[in-house]
A and B are shown apart, each in its own frame.
Chain A
Amino acid sequence: MTSTPHPPAAPAPSARRRGAGALTQALPFLLPNLLGFLAFTFLPVLACFALSLTDYRLAPISHLRDLREQVEFVGLRNFVRLLGFRREAGRLLANDPEFWRYLGNTLFLMLGIPLSIAGSFLLALLLNQPLRGVTIFRTIYFLPTVSSAVAVCIVWKWIFHQQPNEVGLLNSLLMTLGVSHPPDWLGSMTWAKPAFIIMTLWATVGGYNCVLFLAGLQGIPEELYEAAALDGAGPWARLRHVTWPMLSPTTFFVVTMSVIAGFQGSFLFTAAFLMTAGGPAGATTTLMLYIYNYAISWHQLGYAAAIAVVLFALVLGFTLLNWRYGQRLVHYA
């Protein structure tokens, strides 16, 4: 060991001085990360709340020389504009109807999450059998997860391709199967969201969730199954009364993380940005894209921050509800 010689510590006279000594000892380890964490994570969270109370505007980054900032404290005006309703000719109208629409889009696209989780669970069951070469399949299923989202989206845009005289791969397959008029997936108000859900399913079903389920399955002691079998439990009963409860902590974790990730929808942001530009007519615009548009395309950082705060509140609200009620369904062995 090439440790530097270190004098034996003198017995500390008081708890307070010991604390101060411990702090000086810890600071060299802590500071590099802590300073960065404060500057680029912790304070920005607080700053985002502050920003959301202002009317902050910023010139685009390519025109930095003409940068003109305009900061004005506007109180809760952003939130009134975002979440508020007004009565007009006896009807209740949203101040920002687009926000509600894009929130609806985000929630609609999140319908893919239960499908994806159920798929991951089934895949994990399949992969958990003592079959030769099963690792190869696991590797294949995981490939989309490590792939660049941008490349994945470009490939899927090509798969969904539909032009008057050209059909992409998916529609070719559908036509071979006898569908005479397959939809123009990305160009249709009705089909753009389902197209995104299909693509997300492909991208996520064999990913992290599946690996976590698989690990959970492998952690269930064999004795439980043997005992259940001795009691005369069939495969279904074993799945229902052994696998499912034993796996519930994993399921809880997977659901929580997936929903949090779903609200942020970074993959869907990439997809909407590259494949449809949020269209057609806003059909695939999610809250993330809406925030991006306000912040970067329209340079209204204050309002963007307000939407981000609302997104945060949604995530927080879900997490709290989930801890309060979802936790009850979890069986801790």
Chain B
Amino acid sequence: MIRALRPTTRRRTRALHLLSYLALAAIGVTMLMPFAWMISTSLKAPAYAVEFPPRWIPSEPATVEIEGRVCRVARLAGDLRVAVVSYSPEGAHVQVLAPRSRAGERLVVPEDRLEMVRVVRLRWENYAEAWRARGVRVREAFFGLARQVDGFLVFYLNSIIVSLCVTVGTVFTSSLAAFAFARLRFPGRDAIFLGYLATLMVPSIVIMLPVYALLSNLRMTNSYSALILPAMFSAYGTFLLRQFFMTIPQELEDAAVMDGASPFAIYRHIILPLSKPALATLTTFVFLHSWNDFLWPLMVVDRLALKTLPIGLAHFQDSYTTEYHLLMAASVIVMAPVLIVFVLGQRYFVRGIVLSGLKG
């Protein structure tokens, strides 16, 4: 607004920017720390998962084989490389490895003069072990299509099946209903819509209990339908899309009506193409919500063959209570795809929240 800022102002702005960056970075590091710790632990050997002080980069004591024995490598004060052979009351028996000139020399030194040498060791094999998830073996899965499936594949495919069905179902039925509420006139429209609105505020558990009772009575728990159907008709989706459809100018529709377009043609060829941002938002939110949903699957499914990722991971935690390196590997396995998709498409996602003023 003013062409030349006075130097003091400029200096102050720069100082302010620097401070802001520092604050942003400090908070960023705090936010990332649990993720970093998760990845770090997931690559450690069980014996080195808990150490004080904690090590961020997974490392293990270096070892060499001398005369058929595995020995730890330590550094002697004075920067000689040595291999510890054995301990005795008078100190550590060591055999010098380097420098060359003194190699092979054996000496006894007090233990506190030794500094253990560690090497970086990333145990990627933890991921393979976590993925196999011992004990997770399913005879018949995925509508009986698969004979035998092991490990996390079961949970992954279930999550994909459930989330895809829920998302497609919600977007399809919600967009149809939203079209009726926003663009058609029929008796009782506003009353019905008010009914939709009223349920938005109801705590979800109020809805879940009777549905759970109903499904139990119909012997429908432990089925894909139990996981998918109740989640497919969200009032939220209808509300969100209706609000967006309302903003599309009426003239476009009038022109189509003049051309003799049916309501379905208007829905399909005018409203839907113009609502791509809202549809994309709803798609992302519904998918994410379904993918991460914990409580409902926990209530209606206890057969391993039907468990989705969140309850699968909870099951995994039950059988690997203390094996934190594997628990962390499994957590990465569950988290990674969603985080990658989010980082790639975050612009879209964040715009979506703003667009709809919508929340979890």
Binding site for B on A (CB under 8 A): 1-8, 19, 22-23, 25-26, 28-30, 32-37, 39-45, 47-48, 51, 56, 58, 61-62, 64, 67, 69, 123, 126-127, 129, 131, 134-135, 137-144, 146-152, 154-156, 158-159, 161, 163, 166-169, 172-173, 175-176, 202, 206, 208-209, 211-212, 215, 226, 253, 257, 260-261, 263-264, 266, 269-270, 273-274, 288, 291-292, 295-296, 301, 304-305, 308-309, 311-312, 315-316, 319
Taking CB atoms, residues of chain A closer than 8 Å to B195 are 42
Q: Is B28 in contact with chain A by the CB < 8 A criterion?
A: yes
Is B249 in the interface zone, CB < 8 Å from A? Answer: no
| B70 proximity list for chain A (CB < 8 A) | none
17 further interface pairs, Cβ-Cβ under 8 Å (given A211-B354, A319-B201): A1-B256, A6-B260, A29-B177, A40-B233, A44-B206, A67-B219, A139-B343, A142-B350, A146-B288, A151-B38, A151-B313, A158-B328, A202-B31, A264-B203, A311-B203, A312-B202, A315-B202
A51 engages B209 (CB within 8 Å): yes
* B261 with A6: CB separation less than 8 A: yes
A16 nearest in chain B by CB position:
B187
Interface check B23, CB cutoff 8 A: yes
Q: How long is the Cα–Cα vector from A168 to B263 in the complex, in angstroms? A: 61
Q: How many residues of B contact A (CB 8 A)?
A: 112
Residue B179 lies at the interface, judged by CB distance under 8 Å to chain A: yes
B52 A172 Cβ-Cβ under 8 A: yes
B151 within 8 A of A: no
Most buried by B among A3, A163, A273: A3
| 19 A-B residue pairs with CB within 8 Å | A6-B260, A23-B186, A26-B186, A29-B180, A29-B267, A32-B177, A36-B233, A37-B238, A51-B210, A144-B31, A150-B310, A150-B314, A158-B41, A158-B324, A167-B50, A202-B31, A206-B31, A208-B360, A288-B205
* B235 & A37 in contact (Cβ 8 Å cutoff): yes
Cβ of A163: which chain B residues have Cβ within 8 Å of it?
50
Please give me the 4 A-B residue pairs with the lowest Cβ-Cβ distance, nearest first.
Answer: A36-B233, A3-B265, A33-B177, A47-B210
Residues A64 and B203 in contact, CB atoms below 8 Å apart: no
Select one of A148, A150, A152, A316 contacting B201, CB under 8 A. A316
Cα distance, A142 to B269, chains bound together (Å): 35
Which residues of B (284-311) have their CB < 8 Å from a CB of A? 288, 291-292, 294-295, 298-300, 302, 309-311
Given known pairs A22-B185, A29-B180, A169-B54, the reply for A155 and B34 (CB within 8 Å) is: yes
Cα-based distance from A254 to B195 in the complex (angstroms): 23
Task: State in angstroms the CA–CA spacing of A37 and B300 once bound together.
Answer: 19
A226 touches B1 (CB 8 A): yes
Q: Which residues of B contact A263 (CB under 8 A)?
A: 203
List CB contacts (< 8 Å) of B203-237 with chain A.
203-214, 216-217, 219, 221-222, 229-230, 232-235
Given A22-B184, A32-B176, A61-B302: A149 in contact with B357 (beta carbons within 8 A): no
Residues of B within 8 A of A34 (CB): 177, 192
Given contacts A151-B331, A154-B331, contact A295 B209 (CB under 8 A): yes
B238 cross-chain contacts in A, Cβ below 8 A: 33, 37
Decide if A149 touches B292 in the complex (CB within 8 Å): yes
User: Which one of B20, B180, B262, B327 lies within 8 Å of A154 (CB-CB)?
Assistant: B327
Contact at B359–A150, with CB atoms within 8 Å?
A: no
Taking Cβ atoms with an 8 Å cutoff, the residues of B that contact A are: 1, 17, 20-21, 23-25, 27-28, 30-35, 37-38, 41, 50, 52-54, 172-174, 176-177, 179-181, 184-189, 192, 195-196, 199, 201-214, 216-217, 219, 221-222, 229-230, 232-235, 238, 256, 259-265, 267, 269, 288, 291-292, 294-295, 298-300, 302, 309-311, 313-314, 317, 324, 327-328, 330-332, 334-335, 338-339, 342-343, 346-347, 349-350, 353-354, 357, 359-360
**Docked-complex contact B209 and A305, CB < 8 angstroms:** yes
Q: Which residues of A sit under 8 angstroms from B300, Cβ to Cβ?
A: 61
